Structure 1
Amino acid sequence: MVKRIGNKFTLSDLWVTSNEKLSDFYLTSWQRGDSAVPMLLVRLFLSMVTVGILVWSLISGASPYWLIYLTNWGLLLVTSLTLSSLLVSCFAVGNKLPDGGNLPWYVSMYWLLYNITVSVAIMITALYWILLFSPEIKAEQTPAQFWLDVATHGFNSCVAFVEVILSRTPLHFVHIYQPLGIGLWYAMFSAIYYLAGGTDSIGNPFIYEVLDWRQSGRAGVIVAISAASLIMLYTALWGLSICRDKLSTLLIRTTSLSLPLTPPDRHTATGIV
């Protein structure tokens, strides 16, 4: 379990093995009571969407180069997030979540994927539409290719954002190293891939032109700016999660999972026993 000394965090807070309430991982922020069904239905829909987009991407562009692109890393992350969240909700509906102790491995896996994916997915969307997309690219695409681009660089962020807004999953600032680590891991992968003589699908000696390691100075600046932007984005999502919890607690949630939300007793409220 996570132990605290006053208001200070211990090293165990840096990982995803303990949380005060297990229900945070399977209830929505916008419900009364303790039914796991509402979030199960939401996650079932999100899982169907992400699996559909993943299959569409694989059918349309399957090649030995598919895994070198950050977009497809993000697609795999979002799909893994929705499937792991669905697994947690299924266990919750089946009353198979244990009481007390550390979080089950599948809850920790979901929480780790959540911490990484919600900011990385939105970051991928921003990088694509700001740095990579151009009217010339759209003119060369078929309608199917354009809508696949929209799905992989737009719907992915929508799925992540819906999970943030509707769930109660905590987003702790101390976990910022998790999405940042994935981002830096991809940057190192792209550099190693270049040094090993790797090319993109049409033979260019880079994966993305803006991350061309032949111009290492410019590539380094892009990585640094992206890392700083990811930190700011994660901070904004952290603040959004705090606002979500405070607002939903104030307006919607019950104070206890074992009691229904009821108005205060008239005599108690006036101090009469």
Structure 2
Amino acid sequence: MMQWSWRQAFYCMTGILGNVETQSSEPFTRSCCGRISPLYWRVPILVWALFVMFWSIAYFWGPKDMFFLYMTHWGLAFIVLESIFGIFVAIGRRGLTDATFGLPWYVKTYWILYNITIPVAFLITVFYWGILRTSVNTVNFAPNPVLDVMLHGVNSGVMLVELVCSAHPSRLLHIMQPLYFAGAYMLFSVIYFFAGGLDPWGNPFIYPVVDWSKPEQTMVVITLTALFLALMHLLVVGIAAARDAIAKRREDVPTGVYNDAFAP
């Protein structure tokens, strides 16, 4: 059984990247599918995300300054950022330092964005179709049905492609990174509520199921959402482990890079 040290516990609670001085940059610059460049999927994902971003802004149902009230749009912005840094890492592979000097800052940034964006995309899809669309207080968050699917369905699909095709690790100890993202959004919603903020229809909440005028109900929703987001992170780690095990078996080599989920 794995014995956790105080340092590993610290890495987990803070969500920071641990032992990056011993982590090679090489897995971040390639695909798990042989010599295929990550650019083959990261560039299309960026183009898709930018297209959907501009489309969403153009068809937004309220004032444009309210666009980033919603976690869906936060998640979309993170897909844009994650793709940009992923492309930069793939293009700049020749200039990456080796494990002796640790990971460059832009590789660390990409890794953090990757750790946050994928489970959050999965959460947005499940939260929207499983809770918001079935809520008694139904609000029409996406008047365009095609855009609705793009924002709340295809978002998870493109991030699943990123997860399945990448070769770098996903760590259990990084579970706090997506949770801190969710915590930042929760704090934003609290501040917005107590500042008298309204949604585009004049309601005193952003989402009807996250109504701070009903704190007990809202805290139940937030707690369950946080637990589900943690579960999504575990799912990401499991998929990464299965991906690398399959890639390792396909290459038929006794050693190689694999997803050691318990490493810091």
Question: What TM-score, normalized to structure 1?
Answer: 0.81
1:104-146, Cα deviation, whole Å (9 max, x unpaired):
111111000001111011101110011112599799975xx11
Counterpart of 1:113 in structure 2: which amino acid?
L
Query: Which residue of structure 2 aligns with residue 242 of structure 1?
Result: 241
Report the Cα distance in structure 1 between the residues aligned to 2:253 and 2:30, rounded to whole angstroms: 12
1:159: which partner in 2? Answer: 158
Query: 1:23 aligns to what?
Result: 26
Question: Aligned equivalents of 2:230 and 2:170: distance in 1?
Answer: 13
Which stretches in structure 1 are left out of the alignment for 5+ residues? 1-5, 258-273
Aligned length: 244
- Quick one: structure 1 residues 115 and 139, their matched pair in 2 at CA, closer, same or farther if it must change by over 3 Å? closer
Contact 1:29 1:248 in 2 (8 A): yes
Cα displacement (A) at 1:250: 1.3
The residue type paired with residue 129 of structure 1 is W
How big is the shift at 1:19?
A: 5.0
Deviation for aligned residue 1:252: 3.0
Q: What residue in structure 1 maps to residue 182 of structure 2?
A: 183
**Given residue 21 of structure 1, which amino acid in structure 2 is its aligned partner?**
S
Does the residue aligned with 1:50 lie in a helix, a strand or coil?
Answer: helix
2:77 maps to 1:76: yes
- Cα-to-partner distance string for 1:48-89 (whole Å, 9 max, x where unaligned): 111111121122226111111111111101111111101111
In structure 1, what is the Cα distance between the partners aligned to 2:140 and 2:25?
Answer: 49
Partner of 2:261: none
Kindly provide the amino acid, as one letter, of the partner of residue 234 in structure 1. H
Alpha-carbon distance change, 240 to 224 in structure 1, aligned in 2, over 3 angstroms: same
Q: Which moved more, 1:40-49 or 1:191-200?
A: 40-49
Aligned 1:182-201 pairs, distance under 5 A: 182-201=181-200
Structure 2 residue matching 1:65: 3-state secondary structure? helix
Q: Distance in 2 between matches of 1:246 and 1:222?
A: 36
15 and 140 in structure 1: CA distance in 2 versus 1, 3 angstrom threshold:
closer
- Kindly provide the amino acid, as one letter, of the partner of residue 10 in structure 1: R
Task: Evaluate the alpha carbon distance shift between residue 68 and residue 141 of structure 1 in structure 2; reply closer, same or farther with a 3 A threshold.
Answer: closer
Aligned pair 1:90/2:99, yes or no? no
Gaps of 5+ in 2: 257-264
What percentage of aligned pairs have identical amino acids?
Answer: 30
Deviation at 1:41, TM superposition (A): 1.7
Q: Which residue of 2 aligns with 1:148?
A: 147
What is the alpha-carbon distance in structure 1 between the residues aligned to residue 45 and residue 169 of structure 2? 19
Find out whether 1:10 has 2:7 as its counterpart. yes
